[in-house]
A and B are shown apart, each in its own frame.
Chain A
């Protein structure tokens, strides 16, 4: 952006940042700041209003209608969709699957990440390789990950059965489908948490270990009385990020099992997708989306309460 002579002269009179020092800001400077502020923010604000704020409002409006793809029944029906969602066994089942997936995935995604980070942080040779092995999968698209693992889990030709023996149909047996998807997810995304732990480990003051050594504390003692407590804030961040990420699961389940067998792995996001884009019930899909949003909000608020309480200590 080129500056016009007028603008330069106007600013030459007194840049607002300096005027603020006097405690009093001339009206003209304030107006100029407002103009500049909105001009800088404008591109973001426009995109923000169009593609985030508006869909939120429009989605809520849709959820109050019986709108479907045919355009029929587009009048307001109040909270009827929400009532239906509350009585819909498929909503409850998908929510249950989502929560179950969240529990099953969060625990190993935190623990395995911690163990990997502790091991790599020992400074053993091969740092480059360890980081590559554990973090590289995180860079893959969900589709690539799913294709890899569909092949790994292939009952006759897959590596998993060839190593373990047997003919388990991992992805199509309702007893193993969820755990199989969880294993894939851990393989795929543990690298990110591993990285956060690794960064945090390198931040623990060296003196603490030196002092503990002088006091005669062994390595294991140091691990449990220094390292793990020092990592507590990081663990909290990781657990929260992980729960929020796991609640939003869709890609790998949709691609690997299609939500099956018989809906045994279908997460809530897939139910929103199917209601909106397969059954074309826009109004109802939007209502279910808002139920999903409510759960994310509850999880996020719980997170804020927990973190602020910790911060207050």
Chain B
């Protein structure tokens, strides 16, 4: 299964106007009893899956008194209110954390995809001394769990004076050997003729890379970028270790401190969580197809 095949197929299936292969097979009307049963099962599962979201949103729209009231109800006695959101946004650090998350995730994504693509291009196209062992070392390092490095990395950051800095959050998250591997495999499939022609015409390698290879690689670059961005946006352990200063925390780390800060203010807890969840969910609503494609491609190692 090649990358493009996965991309095309996923695309075809997500587009409701294009009849998917599966729909083509089910020639009978979709109102068969078995379809109805399947539909009901799916609907129940979907409701179950959406329940925690719904419950969090409803709670965030209650007053603290209603959120803490028994018996548990969906419709609060005192009506819905945005109080929890206003207090969280005015008193808490959420806007700052959101900025930190956006900033660090964007930098991590841009830089790590760029350096991975450059390295992958070298591995794929340039016959340089030491390439073999460097490539094996890169592949082998995919196995290393980042969690095992927290102690030495933290003391390294201490030595570099990078604890509680953006650099400290960003730098260790720039290395994605698996992305190098995926991109290398993609470049291997790109026909070399175009590049050779450009090289004969005197274009430098960097020009070939930027003006021929990069434009051809847009889909795979989008796929790995989505993957890296979501990973960075949601990363908890490393930013949690390298930041103590509340003004430098990312959303996931900051939110973890919210609970204790607000005590038993359930509506505010949920308002914070919903605010943190919102950006990626909204992005997903708009770019569902691209995001699904990105994860399917990267998940299969670009195969």
CB contacts (< 8 Å) of A297 on chain B: these are 143
B38 near A122 (CB under 8 angstroms)? yes
Neighbour of A59 across the interface among B23, B130, B152, B206, CB < 8 A = B152
- On chain B, the residues within 8 Å of A41 by CB distance are 118-119, 122-123, 128, 134
Q: Bound state CA distance, A240 and B87, in angstroms?
A: 45
Give the residue of A16, A126, A151 whose beta carbon is less than 8 angstroms from that of B59. A151
Measured CB to CB, the closest approach of chain A to B279, in angstroms, equals 9
Chain A nearest Cβ from B173, distance in angstroms:
9
With both chains docked as a complex, state the minimum distance between the C-beta of A202 and any C-beta of chain B, in angstroms.
Answer: 5
Contact A140 B280 (CB under 8 A): yes
Is B165 part of the binding interface, using a Cβ–Cβ cutoff of 8 Å?
A: no
Q: Are B131 and A199 in contact (CB under 8 A)?
A: no
Q: Is the CB of A149 within 8 A of B276?
A: no
Asked if A277 lies at the interface with its beta carbon under 8 angstroms from chain B, I say: yes
Q: Are B277 and A43 interface neighbours, CB within 8 A?
A: no
Given contacts A38-B130, A151-B56, A292-B147, A162 and B280 within 8 Å (CB-CB): no
Residue among A20, A34, A128 making CB contact with B288, cutoff 8 Å: A128
- Given that A36-B126, A121-B22, A290-B148 are contacting pairs, would A131 and B280 also be in contact in the complex, using a CB cutoff of 8 Å? no
Number of A-B contacts defined by CB within 8 Å: 332
Which residue in chain B gives the minimum CB-CB distance to A14?
B200
Say yes or no: A133-B50 contact (C-beta < 8 A), given A124-B30, A195-B299, A199-B6. Answer: yes
Q: How many residues of A contact B (CB 8 A)?
A: 111
Is B102 close to A, CB under 8 A?
A: no
Interface residues in B143-160 by Cβ distance below 8 A to A read: 143-145, 147-156
If A44-B118, A51-B171, A152-B52 touch, does A143 touch B252 (CB 8 Å cutoff)? yes
Q: Give the shortest distance, in Å, between A51 (CB) and chain B (any CB).
A: 5
Report the minimal beta-carbon distance from B260 to chain A, rounded to whole angstroms: 11
Tell me whether B30 and A125 are in contact (CB under 8 A): yes
Query: Which residues of the partner chain A approach B192 to less than 8 Å between Cβ atoms?
Result: 17
A192 CB → nearest B CB, Å: 7
Q: Which of B23-37 contact A (CB under 8 A)?
A: 23-26, 30, 34-35
Choose, from A87-95, A100-108, A268-276, the stretch at the interface: A268-276
Interface membership of A170, Cβ < 8 A: no
A to B CB contacts below 8 Å, 24 in the list: A8-B202, A36-B128, A37-B126, A44-B116, A44-B118, A47-B115, A51-B175, A52-B144, A59-B149, A122-B38, A123-B30, A127-B14, A130-B42, A134-B46, A139-B281, A144-B252, A148-B52, A148-B270, A152-B55, A198-B296, A201-B22, A202-B9, A202-B13, A289-B150
B residues engaging A (CB < 8 A)?
1, 5-6, 9-10, 12-14, 16, 20-26, 30, 34-35, 38-39, 41-43, 45-46, 49-53, 55-56, 59, 67-68, 70-72, 114-116, 118-119, 121-123, 125-131, 134, 137-138, 141, 143-145, 147-156, 171-172, 174-175, 177, 180, 192, 195-196, 199-200, 202-207, 209, 230, 233-234, 236-237, 241, 251-253, 255-256, 258-259, 266, 269-270, 272-273, 276-277, 280-281, 284-285, 288, 291-292, 295-296, 299-300
Given contacts A30-B129, A54-B152, A289-B151, 9 further A-B contacts (CB under 8 A): A15-B200, A41-B118, A55-B152, A62-B152, A125-B30, A143-B236, A151-B56, A206-B25, A286-B152
